[in-house]
Amino acid sequence: MEYPIKLLISIIILAVVSFVGARLNFLNKRLPLGVRTILLTGTEYIFLGVLLGRMGIELIDTATLSQLEPFLLFGLCWVGFMFGLQFEVKRLRKLPLYYFSITAVESVVTFLVVTIPLFFVLKSFKDYPDNMLIMMAAMLGSTATAQSSLAIINRLFQFKTQKVMNLMRYVAGVDGVFALAFFTLALIFVPWGDVLQVDIMGSLYWLFVLFLVGAVPALILILLNKSQFTQQEFFVFLIGITMFCAGLAHVTMHSPLVAGFICGILIANFCKHRLRALSTVLHAEKTIYIALLVLVGASWHIETPSVLIVALIYMLLKAGGKLFGGALATTIFKPVYRVPKTIGLGLLSEGGLAIAIIINFKLLYFSLADDLITIVVLAVLVSELFSPQLILAQFKKEGVVSLEGKKKLP
């Protein structure tokens, strides 16, 4: 098939799948809970991409993916922008301080428990320079910290100890900030040379430029605080701001995901249009995210079977990090109500942000990403399949009432 025809057909398929998929609702279907969480996180669209891509019929081949890269940049920036808009400091200050303290301890412990051993695991499988391996291990550590939402469980079940669920939902949300921070830290280690050399001034300059990439588009919207827009005009304006931010990130070789997050968090705290912007991006978020999943599936390629062993080790390390981190955090910053020591196992769910991080990594380091994509995708599938029951297990002593037929669960 001629290349321009492939590109046109690929765009049409992406548009149709994204539009239709965003309107499907599996929440009330009589499917096993783990299957519903997989469907709601959209992981199945990765396998549609696999069918269309390098491991399938190759409709979306390497050349087509290269031409679709601007959409990947825009989509990642949009996801980061949406995530940043949810963090309004005045609203977060109303929550107990120990919420943040518990999240910080749990996130840092998980990152270290995953990253440090994985460096040595990767070293035994890959003949790469040490700083490249450190970056790859830290990348996986950041995805282990990122979590998908607990909202589906909260909607389907009623808990007698809602405070514990509120704590878990807070941790699941704010964990993403630490995930992006660890992701940014990983990118500082430039993967060239045999010896790890950290240039402090160079790293600070790199971080300053990254901040400017996110801040400049945000400043444009903040300066227009007094302007009035129709909803259609505002939507087009947000698309333009996001495209501008993604373009700056691409030109300066920075992360569009992190730049979008910086842009979003600045607008959330300094722009009166914050709620309007959040409503707009949430409306289009699922459509864009589905297209990203199809493209990551199309670019996915399993190079060696040994990566499956690394994936298993990654999942075990993540479970151990969450379990230990959750227990340690709730022991140091003990809430006034009972929190199960196994709360970390209720935080294993891994979805949207982890996928976005690994897509962003693939854009920056194409040749290194295939194995990491395999590890993260497999971990997402396993965690989403079993995490609902692990979440419910944290409330076993108090009892849980299913809102589907008002059935009390043991």
Which range, 237-241, 391-395, 401-405, has the best average confidence (pLDDT)?
237-241
- pLDDT value of residue 312: 93
Q: What are phi and psi of 32, to 5 degrees?
A: -55, 145
Which one, of 13, 10, 86, 18, lies nearest residue 292 by Cα?
A: 18
Residue 323 CA: distances (Å) to CA of 143, 318, 326, 394: 16, 8, 5, 12
> Alpha-carbon distance 359 to 365, whole Å?
10
Averaged pLDDT of the chain:
80
Q: For residue 125, name the pLDDT band (cuts at 50, 70, 90).
A: confident
Q: Contact 271/265 with Cβ under 8 angstroms?
A: no
Confidence of residue 152 (pLDDT cuts 50, 70, 90): low
Share of the chain above pLDDT 90, in %: 17
Confidence of residue 68 (pLDDT cuts 50, 70, 90): confident
Q: How many angstroms from the chain centroid is the CA of residue 12? A: 26
- At residue 246, the pLDDT reads 92
Question: Taking the alpha carbons of 74, 185, 106, 104 in that order, is the dihedral positive or negative?
Answer: negative
Name the helix (H) or strand (E) containing 174. Answer: helix 162-188
- Assess whether pLDDT exceeds 80 at residue 105: yes
Give the global pTM: 0.85
Is 61 in contact with 6 (CB distance < 8 Å)?
yes
Greater model confidence, 277 or 353: 353
Beta-ladder partners of 400? 159, 409
Predicted local confidence at residue 353, as pLDDT: 83
pLDDT at position 25 over 70: no
What pLDDT is attached to residue 320?
Answer: 93
pLDDT at 222 over 80: yes
Which pair of structure tokens corresponds to residue 101?
Answer: 């303290």
Residue 196 has pLDDT above 80, yes or no: no
Confidence check: pLDDT of 65 > 90 = no
User: Over 70: is that where the pLDDT of 90 sits?
Assistant: yes
Examine the pLDDT at 216 and tell me if it is beyond 90.
yes
State the pLDDT at residue 383.
82
27: closest CA among 36, 19, 18? 36
Q: Cα(331)–Cα(328) distance, rounded to whole angstroms?
A: 5
CA pair distance 290, 75, nearest whole angstrom: 10
Torsion over CA: 122, 125, 126, 130 (sign): positive
Q: Following CA atoms 359, 363, 364, 368 in sequence, which dihedral angle do they give, to the nearest 10 degrees?
A: 70
pLDDT of residue 394: 74
Considering Cα of 194, then 196, then 201, then 207, what sign does the dihedral take?
positive
